[in-house]
Amino acid sequence: MKGGVLLARLLRFLKAAALVALLALSIASPVAGASEGPRYIFLFIGDGMGEAQVKAADLYSRASGRGELAFAALPARGRVTTGTAKGAVTDSAAAGTALASGHKTENGILNMDPSKTKRFVTVAMLARDRGMRVGIVTSSFMNDSTPAAFYAWSPSRTELYEIGKQLADSGFDYFGGGGLSRRRDRKGDGKDLYEIAAAQGCKVLRTAAEILAARPGEGILASGSAGALHYEIDRPEGVLSLAEYTRLGISLLDNPNGFFLVVEGGKIDWACHRSDTAAMVRDVAALDDAVKEALAFARDRPGETLVVVTADHETGGMSLDGEIEGSAFHAVFSRQRRSNESFDAEVAEMRKGGRGSFKSMLPALAGFFGLGNLSGEEKEELEAAFAQSMKPVVRRTRDKDYNRRYGPYEPLTMAASRILARRGGVNWTSFGHSGAAVPVYAVGPGSEYFSGENDNTGIGRALIHLLP
C-alpha cells in the first residue's frame, strides 16, 4: 500500500477502535473463555444453500465419480435460523449483516440497525484492525450484498456505487472473483470504481495472467470478469474458478499474524432463483472445491486453522424426494448442457418475428435439457409456457397462476427446468427466498461453537469471539 493509504488505515483503526468501545456490550460474545483460538479463519457462504441443496449436490457429486462433498463431512455440524429483526424471511443484506457482525437488521440494510442510524462493526473489520490480513472472494459481483456485508455500511443494498467506494477504502488485502457492478454513479459523472480502487492503493488485475502472477505485499483487486463469474456449468476453459481465486487468496494472505478469508458461492443463489437444479449442484461443487483449498491449508497448520461453511438463507423452497437414488439423479441432471439462463437466448431468437412453433421447439428442449419422451401432461405444460414465451413481455398474462408457474423469468425456460427437476425428484416451490433453517459445518479450533442449533447472529458473534 502507498503511504497515504497507510495513513488512511491508521485513521480507520482509530475510528474503529472508538466504535468498538461504544458497541462492546452489544457485540459481546455468547461464548466465553476460549484460550487458544485459530490464527487462520475461513468463512465459506453458499448463498441460497439450504439443506436440500447440499443433499442434492452431494448425490450428484457421488454419482459423478467426484466423491462426497468435503464440507458435508466436517465433524462439527449444526442448523442456523435466518430471520431478520422483524421478519421470518431474510435477504442477503440482512443475513450477511448477521453473519458479519452478529447483529440483526432488516432486509435491504447493510451493517446498520433497522433505524439506519447505528453502524455495526464486522468480524472482517476487527480482523484487519488486529493486524490480520483480510480477503473476500465471491462468484457474484464484488459489491453485491453478501461480500459487501463484511466491508460496507449502507442504508440500502442498491447503492452499489457508494458500496463500491467503501470497498476501495476498506484496507482489506485481497478481493477476488466477480467484478464491480454499477461502476459509475447514477449521474454518470463520478470516477470509475476501478479507478477509485487504484487511487486508494489497490492493484487492479483484470486478466487471468495478471491475476495468477499476483504476489503478496499490496492490496489486490483481482477480477477476470466484467460482472459475476460464470455458472460453473458454463465456465469456459481457461477462466479462473472459485477454487483458484481462493487458492490465490491463501497465498496472498498467508503471514504469521494470521488472516480472515470469506468465500461466497454467490451463483448458487442465482441458480436457485431460476429453479436450475443442474446449475445449482455444480455451483455447490465449485464451492466445495474452494473449501478443499482451505482444508489443504489447514493440514499444514494443524490446530491453527478454523474452517466454517454455512449459508445466508435458503432460496427456492427446494425439497428432495427421499426415494431418489444418486445414479438416477445424476442421469437426469447431467443431460442439461448449460445453465437455463443461457436457454433464454434461444427462446428470444425463436420469438423474433413470430417464426417459432411449439413443434419446432421440441428438438431444442430435448437437446438442451434432455427432455425426450414427454408425457401428455408435460407437453401440455410446455405448450402453455411456449405460448406465453412467444408473446412480447408486455402482453403476457401475468396473473397469480402465471407468477406461480414462471415468476419473473422466461416461461418456457422455467417450465422445462421444473419438469426436469420433477423427473429428478426435486421440487421447487418458490422463485424467492424461504425462511428455512440452513446448515453449518466446521472443523478446527473453535469449531464446537458452530454445532447444534444456532441463529445467524450466533455465527457472527462466535467468529468475532474467536479472533486472535
pLDDT 10s digit of each residue in the chain, 468 long? 444 444 445 445 444 444 444 333 333 333 333 447 899 999 999 999 999 999 999 999 999 999 999 999 999 999 999 999 999 999 999 999 999 999 999 999 999 999 999 999 999 999 999 999 999 999 999 999 999 999 999 999 999 999 999 999 999 999 999 999 888 787 766 789 999 999 988 999 999 999 999 998 779 999 988 889 999 999 999 999 999 999 999 999 999 999 999 999 999 999 999 999 999 999 999 999 999 999 999 999 989 999 999 999 999 999 999 888 999 999 999 999 999 999 999 999 989 877 678 998 999 999 999 999 999 999 999 999 999 999 999 989 889 999 999 999 999 999 999 999 999 999 999 999 999 999 999 999 999 999 999 999 999 999 999 999
Provide the domain limits for residue 418.
Answer: 338-424
The conformational region for residue 312 under phi > 0 = left, psi -120 to 50 = alpha, else beta, is alpha
Asked whether residue 249 falls in the same domain as residue 356, the answer is no
Asked whether residue 86 falls in the same domain as residue 204, the answer is yes
Rounded Cα–Cα distance for residues 152 and 145 (Å): 9
Residue 327 lies in a domain: no
What is residue 12's predicted lDDT score, i.e. its pLDDT?
52
What is residue 185's predicted lDDT score, i.e. its pLDDT?
80
What is residue 262's predicted lDDT score, i.e. its pLDDT?
98
Asked whether residue 103 falls in the same domain as residue 181, the answer is yes
Q: How far is CA 162 from the centre of its chain?
A: 21
Cell numbers for 360: 419446432
Degrees, nearest 5: CA angle 409-415-416: 110
Asked whether residue 207 falls in the same domain as residue 81, the answer is yes
Number of domains in the chain: 2
The CATH number assigned to the domain holding 45 equals 3.40.720.10
Is residue 406 classed as helix, strand or coil in its secondary structure? helix
Asked whether residue 265 falls in the same domain as residue 147, the answer is yes
Residues in the chain: 468
Asked whether residue 267 falls in the same domain as residue 395, the answer is no
Residue 233 lies in a domain: yes
Residue 271 lies in a domain: yes
Name, in order, each residue with C-beta under 8 angstroms of 299's C-beta and a sequence gap of 6 or more: none
Asked whether residue 131 falls in the same domain as residue 231, the answer is yes
Nearest to 92, CA basis, from 134, 145, 133: 145
Asked whether residue 254 falls in the same domain as residue 134, the answer is yes
Asked whether residue 139 falls in the same domain as residue 197, the answer is yes
CA distances from 294 to 42, 50, 176, 269 (A): 7, 21, 15, 22
Asked whether residue 418 falls in the same domain as residue 437, the answer is no
Residue 458 lies in a domain: yes
- Give the side-chain half-sphere CA count within 13 A for 387: 7
Rounded Cα–Cα distance for residues 139 and 232 (Å): 10
Is residue 422 classed as helix, strand or coil in its secondary structure? helix
Residue 206 lies in a domain: yes
The β-bridge relationship of strands 438-443 and 305-310 is antiparallel
Asked whether residue 246 falls in the same domain as residue 370, the answer is no
Residue 393 lies in a domain: yes
Asked whether residue 253 falls in the same domain as residue 402, the answer is no
First to last CA, the chain: 24
Residue 333 lies in a domain: no
Burial readout 163-186 (b: 16 or more C-beta within 10 A, e: otherwise): bbbbbbbbbbbbbbbbbbbbbebe
Residue 324 lies in a domain: no
Q: Is 15 exposed, middle or buried (0-12, 13-18, 19+ CB in 10 A)?
A: exposed
Is the distance from CB of 439 to CB of 51 less than 8 angstroms? yes
Residue at 251: amino acid letter: S
Q: Which ranges constitute the DSSP H helices of 50-192?
A: 51-64, 92-101, 123-129, 145-148, 160-169
Burial readout 281-315 (b: 16 or more C-beta within 10 A, e: otherwise): bbbbbbbbbbbbbbbebbeeeeebbbbbbbbbbbb
Is the distance from CB of 443 to CB of 292 less than 8 angstroms? no
Rounded Cα–Cα distance for residues 278 and 283 (Å): 9
Q: How far is CA 349 from the centre of its chain?
A: 31
